[in-house]
Structure formats: structure tokens, C-alpha cells
Structure 1
């Protein structure tokens, strides 16, 4: 199956809100909170490229992260974690209904945890360990053709590091790296 197509970036301000949502869902994983956070960007400024749009979304996410990590900002934290948690777990079953077609393609080389092999079981355990270390977050990384062994090493390092603020920053960066890759494939 081919990647979805995207309209020219210069046309974004003139498109209806439903098209903006579809574009966000193509670049990122579907999230109502992301739609609410990033939707206004489409009409607030023109974009000469999708990278410019993704950078603007990254700025909004970084600002939300700055607010969400301050004591007493539970609503911002809930919104941020919903957006960051919209990505599926790495190695999730390819038949899982919550996997977008883009995620299925991107994770193809990680194989499904229900294939029964030892690495798949380790990946499933690492996902659980990660989510225990960082409640409310999901491990997100730009796979970019890397194998399970490399990804699992990165997961272990991030779990051992245990730095929530840095983890949020890396997750936002990974989401934007994935979005840039999706945009390049869809144009």
C-alpha cells in the first residue's frame, strides 16, 4: 500500500478544517488533542514546506511540555501525554486495530510480538518497563530501518537514564522525525 498523498504546503491555509485534521493524522498519529493544539497553525501563518509545519507543531508541543512539567499543571500533562501516547507500542501486533497504516509500514522490520520469538518477548517486556518508569508515556523512536536489537538497546538506555523531561523532549523529537519522514514519502 502506498503512502497517503499530501497537498502542496502553500495551499494549507485555504483548506477546510477536515483537511487539516487529515494532514495531521497523516504526519502524526491521530489525536484529538493534537488536532486542537496544532489545528490553528494552519490558518495563523503560511508554510512553504511540511518541515515548516512540523517545526511549528514541535514548537507547540515543546511549549506544552514546558507547561505540563510544572507542578500543578495536570490538565496540560494529560493533554501532552495523550498526544505523545498516540503512537502505538513498538512491536505491537500488526493486526492491532490501533495501528495506523503508516505505523504498520514503519515497524515492519520489528515483527510482531505474537511471532513467539525471544526478541519479541523482550520488546514487549521493555515496553512494559518503559511505561512503568514513565507513567503515561509510550516509548517513541524514529525506527528508520533499524532492527529490534538497536531499538531495544535505545529503550534500555532511556529507561536507565530515567530523566522524564529529557524523555518528553526525545519523544517530541522522534514524533517530528517520523512526521518529516512521512511527509517526504507522501509528497
Structure 2
């Protein structure tokens, strides 16, 4: 499945809202809540690069993480949960499907990953484990999951998920430009 390349960064503020939302979907994951958060920024600001755009969205996400408002927390968790679970059989975005293909492993590993996802989500209600795989093996990723579950730091997890989302988006941008 061919993915449309990203338009020149200089054109982003002049694109239609639909086209800007498509850019966010390609870089991050389809999320109406991310559209609500970031589309005004894309309309109003010119960016030097896609990495600058991604960093600006990261600042917005971090502002939600820093907020004491329950509605901001729910908003952030909705955006972070737009990423598919690691090892999920059904993945909607072409980018995530390709990224997850790197994590192929045995049936036993798939079952262990499923259980770790469940354990993670029980430990951090409202979150899905998000990590920039970056060529690491399933075993390495599962060890990272275990470590993050054991830490029990919900605020730290939100920040780790934001960082991972931005790293994933930067990697996608480099491949789509």
C-alpha cells in the first residue's frame, strides 16, 4: 500500500483543514482529539521543518500532561490511545502496520506481549503502551514494558508516551518527505 508523501512544509498553513488533518494522521495516528488540539497551530504558524511541527505538537501535548484539569488528562489520554497496541492483529494505519511488522515473533511471544499490554493498561488506566520500536527486538521491547510497569509512574508514562509519539512522528516524517 503506497503512502502519499508529505507536502512541502512551507505549504502547510495554506492547506485545507482536511489536508492538515491528514498530515497529523500520517505523522501521529488518526485522532479527532489531536485534530482539535493541533489544527489551530497548523493554520496559524509556519514551520521550518516537519520536526519543528512535531516538536510544537509535542509542546501542546506536554501542556495537557502538565494540566491539573481532569478534562485535559482525558483529552491527552484519548490522543495517546490512538496508537494501536503493540502486537495488535488489526492495525488501521499503514505506518503502524509496517512498524509493527518488525515485531514478528513466536506465538508464545505474541501471547506474552498480549499479557503485558493487559498488565500495562491495568497499571495505567486510560493509556496504551507507546514506544518507538526503532528496529529493537520484541524481547527488548517487552523488557522495556516490564520496566515501565514496575516503575508505576503515571505522569512519567504520559511523558514517555508523548516522547515516543514524537519520535515515531519524526521517523515517519523522514520517510514521507
Extract unaligned runs of 5+ from structure 1.
none
- With 29-38 and 42-51 compared, the bigger mean Cα shift is at 42-51
How much has 1:147 moved relative to structure 2?
A: 1.1
Q: CA RMSD in A?
A: 1.2
Matched, 1:123 2:116: no
Match of 2:10 in 1: 10
TM-score (normalised: structure 1) = 0.91
Match of 1:154 in 2: 144
Q: Does the 8 Å CA contact 1:3/1:185 hold for their aligned counterparts?
A: no
Q: Does the 8 Å CA contact 1:91/1:124 hold for their aligned counterparts?
A: yes
Per-residue displacement from partner, 1:113-162 (whole Å, max 9, x unpaired)?
xxx71111100000000000000000000011111000000000000001
Distance between the aligned counterparts of 1:137 and 1:110, measured in 2? Answer: 20
Match of 1:99 in 2: 92
Match of 2:46 in 1: 46
Per-residue displacement from partner, 1:39-85 (whole Å, max 9, x unpaired)?
01112211110001000000000001111xx2xx2211111110000
Extract unaligned runs of 5+ from structure 2.
none
Match of 2:167 in 1: 177
TM-score (normalised: structure 2) = 0.96
After TM superposition, which residue ranges in structure 1, 4 or more long, deviate above 4 angstroms? Answer: none
- Structure having greater relative contact order (Cα 8 Å, sep ≥ 6): 2
Aligned counterparts, 1:52-63, within 5 A: 52-63=52-63
